[in-house]
Homo-oligomer: A and B are copies of this chain.
Amino acid sequence: MRIGELSRRTGVSERALRYYEEHGLLRPERRPSGYRVYREADVPAVRRIRVLLAAGLSIAQIVAALPCMVDDDGLLLPSCPELVDELVKHRDRIGEAIDELEATRGNLDAIIAAERRAG
């Protein structure tokens, strides 16, 4: 599919989709004309990106945490690092992101509890 359809199906602007590509989050193929061609798997991929962005992660963190978005069938994309070492590092970065988010969620929980007592 082309960018317009992906945009409609995900609710994400074309501008944003091009921006994600610019930062390595999406790698659509190109027609000779230059038109981007996306696969079905890019629809859930965009959804994952939005979830992480909504949670407060930056594009850079998402790039670092998900250098290889896993497909529905569980296969790695061709761009993935081969060394176990690299994979371990990536997993650890994801762990850091998780820790950050859990701390944030902890803060929110405390606030919510306090407000319930006060309100």
Binding site for B on A (CB under 8 A): 48, 51-52, 54-57, 65-66, 68-71, 74, 76, 80-81, 83-84, 87-88, 90-91, 93-98, 100-102, 104-105, 107-112, 114-116, 118-119
- Give every chain B residue within 8 A of A114 (Cβ-Cβ): 69
Q: Closest approach, in angstroms, between the C-beta of A70 and any C-beta of chain B?
A: 5
The 8 Å CB contact of A56, one of B48, B51, B56, B116, is: B56
How often does this chain occur in the complex, in copies?
2
Nearest CB in chain B to that of A90: its residue? B108
Q: Is the interface of A mostly helix, strand, loop or mixed?
A: helix
Nearest 6 Cβ contacts at the A-B interface: A55-B97, A80-B119, A55-B107, A91-B108, A70-B107, A94-B105
